Structure 1
Amino acid sequence: MTKTRLLLLPALGLLHVALPLTAAQDALSEIQAIVQPVALFGGNEWTDPANYQAKAIAWLESDPVSANNNNNNIADARIQQRYALACIYYATFAVPTMYTVAEPRGWIDATGWLSDADECTWFGLTCNDNSEVEKIALGVNRLTGTFPAETAIMASSITHIDLFRNYVHNAGDAGNAWMGQLTNLTHLYYGQTNFEYDGIPPQIGQLTNLIEYDCSFTRYFGPLAGSTFAPLQNLEYLVLTAKFSKVIERLQVIVFRRPLSKIQRTKYRRRARVRTANR
């Protein structure tokens, strides 16, 4: 492939000169061009090598599966998927937060992750017949850092996410709003994590296919808006525990039953799924 470069020659100024790129340079630019449309900040996040996104794109450029996508007949969507998964790994593997030690340990099981194996064989992942990730099951696996918004790159296929009992800290809109893009989700579990928000993120109300939802023992707090749950007509199991001001004076489980505008409050005794009456 030939691209134009600028050369500064004495007394001649800037000239556009066509020079051939090496195969490695060509592959690198091609990978970035494939991922750029789904990058959160258009690829600007790759300029800081400390960012998890920069680490993810660097791995992708060295990944033989992605770098040889033409020879391997790998679709662009698969490359974007591998980028999203690399973001998950680098954003949550031994990354400290305000709720962890300064140097936390890595995942308990990271078998296959960031290898040249098919990502559908990586630990905790299940794919559909089109090799698209459907389920992410990384519960009780010592994830730290922040579970990344790049997960939404796979929104068209993901139906299950299980992050139960990990140390990830997702705070405010930046850490929670992206979940509203996962409109095919049927099962979402992140109880006993450090997800943090004032109330329940309103974007949860966009997950109209949701059947089971557990955000128990997170750092959600403040008033509850029943309107968040009103669109969730398929919801069958719901577990919420938090200190919700103006609603509950102490730690409790809130059980939403049909109609969702009616709330039954019970003291928390044990972690259990709560069945709603609409089943």
Structure 2
Amino acid sequence: MRSLKTMSYSDDFGEEGFDVNDDNIDEERYGASKNKGRVDLLYTTDAKRMKSRRCFWITGGLIVISIVAVVVVVMLLLNGDEAHKQTAIVDVPTQEAAPIGNTPTEDAPVAAPVARLSANEILLREKSRLGGIEFDNHSTYQSKALAWLEDNPFSPSANNTISDEARLLQRFSLACIHFSTNKVSNVYTEAQFTGYGLQPWNRDDGWLDAEDECTWYAIVCNDEGYVIEINLTKNALTGTFPYEVAYLKEYLEVLNLDANFFHNKDHDGHAFIKELQNLRAMSVRDTFMQYNGIPPHYGHLPRLQSLDISYVVYTGSTSDDFMQAMENPLPELVFLDISGNSFNGPIPNSIISLPKLTAFYAVNSNVESDVSFVANMGNAIEVWLDENPGLTGRLPESLGSIISLRSFAVTECSLTGPIPTSMGNLVALQQVWLYGNQLDGQVPSSLGSLLKLETFEVHNNLLTGSMPTQMCTNMITGVLQTLQADCPDEIQCTCCTCCGSSCEREPSYGGRRQLWERPERKERLN
């Protein structure tokens, strides 16, 4: 740093400045006391500049401090506002209860604040098989059903005795069905509805609108107000049928979901079934229920009388008996239809041995075995096994022991050998379809004694000889109405209604009359 005495100030005294020791400075210009004036001027100027610098730094520091203070204040205000908001929506933190027998210590952790839940959500979280995590995502069908429930409180009905909690679960269950299957896509609908999009339910009269859910379309309640029947057949259900229908398990007796597009797969997709312990009739015919084999879930329904799982997506071998580990499965089942699936194996013994099974249908199911098992179905009234090329061997003589049999169909299979004469013992027999096999020999004359026989079709086989005279007599009396054979070349038959290739192939369903019709409503169940 330069000496104060020799510092030049070109701004005030020219470009060259001045030296305070210079005696040639003009005293008249600068005053009489040149030495004193020079020094005073020099120190005064320097002091002013130093003061100016100190002011600059002080002022700058104050500005910085002020800015920092403002930022801190703003942050505190924002944090305070957020804290206020959180305080408004959370409960006061509470210490988690210690297990019985343990004394909490002062260092025990305190539970984090949790969102305040409505009474409805608390109940539904307690009932949830998933622990309530489905309500953490507001886009799930369960969350949508809960939101609807909150917006549509119900009033207790003076005519019903159903409790408020049961009513809440009932309404939530039905809302879940709606939000889970109404215009919701799945892998099958994405393939089938490409180009024109998903459609809503065909009918939803009253659903999510009328306060009393017992008045909604396809819902039937008992006098106490509990849902006992859901019949949503042919209603364009898509998505996935929800597990929450299990909340209706105490009273639900009929669940009919025929001819829809929902897709339930594997164990989780069938989990709701075993919960419906009071179910008496269930049908998922012609839907996209999918499983490897026959799901064992059905075996847990002790009151079930009618089960239709035909034309779904049950595939794979049935060699592993689907109910073999169960004690007395399906003790009340009388009607079972497993047609239209692809099992690639024999009929499970647990089905054959069902104690009350009366009507059994396994049409077009890739069943692979002989037909001797039929003789073990002692209570059978109607057995249809059509369109299974894997069914081979002979019709057993023991078939004649099923004296309750009224309708028997094994067409378009690979049967060989003769028609057993023991079939003449089946005095209740009304319908017999055996066409499209490789049966040989003659039509047994014992069949002429079947006075209730209305239909007998054996064309497209290797049968020979003549049609029994008594069967033609039965045609005249009007009891026997349809008689078809390979006439006149292989079989001599003057009374047949149709011969050989001229006989149209009759469909297994539709044109053929089922003697034991599937119950559609609970009133038709015994």
Match of 1:247 in 2: 346
Match of 1:270 in 2: 509
Match of 1:227 in 2: 323
1:35 and 1:79 in contact (8 A); partners too: no
The yes-or-no answer on 1:120 pairing with 2:214 is yes
The yes-or-no answer on 1:200 pairing with 2:294 is yes
Match of 2:146 in 1: 57
Match of 1:5 in 2: none
**Counterpart of 1:195 in 2: which secondary structure?**
strand
Q: Which amino acid aligns with 1:30?
A: A
Match of 2:335 in 1: 237
1:177 and 1:201 in contact (8 A); partners too: no
Q: Which amino acid aligns with 2:386?
A: K
2:210 and 2:216 in contact (8 A); partners too: no
Q: Which amino acid aligns with 2:365?
A: Q
Change (3 A) 1:259 1:222: farther
Separation in structure 2 between the aligned mates of residue 169 and residue 19 of structure 1, nearest angstrom:
39
Q: Which has the higher contact order (CA 8 A, sep 6+)?
A: 1
**Counterpart of 1:204 in 2: which secondary structure?**
helix
Select which of 164, 167, 190 maps to 1:78.
Answer: 167
1:240 and 1:253 in contact (8 A); partners too: no
CA drift at 1:258: 3.4
**Counterpart of 1:37 in 2: which secondary structure?**
helix
Measured against aligned partners, the alpha-carbon deviations of 1:191-220 in whole angstroms (never above 9, x if no partner) come to: 000000011111110112111110100001
Match of 2:465 in 1: none
The yes-or-no answer on 1:43 pairing with 2:132 is yes
CA drift at 1:39: 2.2
Separation in structure 1 between the aligned mates of residue 213 and residue 87 of structure 2, nearest angstrom:
41
The yes-or-no answer on 1:111 pairing with 2:111 is no
The structure having more radius of gyration, on CA atoms, is: 2
Separation in structure 2 between the aligned mates of residue 252 and residue 235 of structure 1, nearest angstrom:
20
Measured against aligned partners, the alpha-carbon deviations of 1:173-207 in whole angstroms (never above 9, x if no partner) come to: 01012201101000001100000001111111011
Separation in structure 1 between the aligned mates of residue 119 and residue 205 of structure 2, nearest angstrom:
28
Select which of 75, 81, 88 maps to 2:177.
Answer: 88
Q: Map residues 91-170 of structure 1 onto 2, 5 A cutoff.
A: 91-100=180-189, 101=193, 103-170=197-264
Runs of at least 4 residues off by over 4 Å? 16-21, 253-257, 271-276
Separation in structure 1 between the aligned mates of residue 316 and residue 232 of structure 2, nearest angstrom:
28
For normalisation by structure 2, the TM-score amounts to 0.44
For normalisation by structure 1, the TM-score amounts to 0.79
- The structure with more strand, counted as a fraction of residues: 1
1:253 and 1:265 in contact (8 A); partners too: no
1:126 and 1:135 in contact (8 A); partners too: yes
Q: Which amino acid aligns with 2:218?
A: G
Deviates more, 1:101-110 or 1:206-215: 101-110
**Counterpart of 1:56 in 2: which secondary structure?**
helix
* Number of residues of Structure 1 aligned to a counterpart in Structure 2: 256
Measured against aligned partners, the alpha-carbon deviations of 1:123-180 in whole angstroms (never above 9, x if no partner) come to: 0000112211100000000000110000001111100000000001000001012201
2:345 and 2:366 in contact (8 A); partners too: no
Separation in structure 1 between the aligned mates of residue 273 and residue 300 of structure 2, nearest angstrom:
9
**Counterpart of 1:99 in 2: which secondary structure?**
helix
Task: Please list every run of 5 or more consecutive structure 2 residues that lacks an aligned counterpart in the other structure.
Answer: 1-77, 92-115, 348-362, 368-372, 388-507, 518-525
1:208 and 1:233 in contact (8 A); partners too: yes
Separation in structure 2 between the aligned mates of residue 173 and residue 275 of structure 1, nearest angstrom:
31
1:84 and 1:153 in contact (8 A); partners too: yes
Separation in structure 2 between the aligned mates of residue 252 and residue 20 of structure 1, nearest angstrom:
58
CA drift at 1:40: 3.1
**Counterpart of 1:153 in 2: which secondary structure?**
helix
Alignment root-mean-square deviation, CA:
3.6
2:181 and 2:239 in contact (8 A); partners too: yes
Percent identity at matched positions?
32
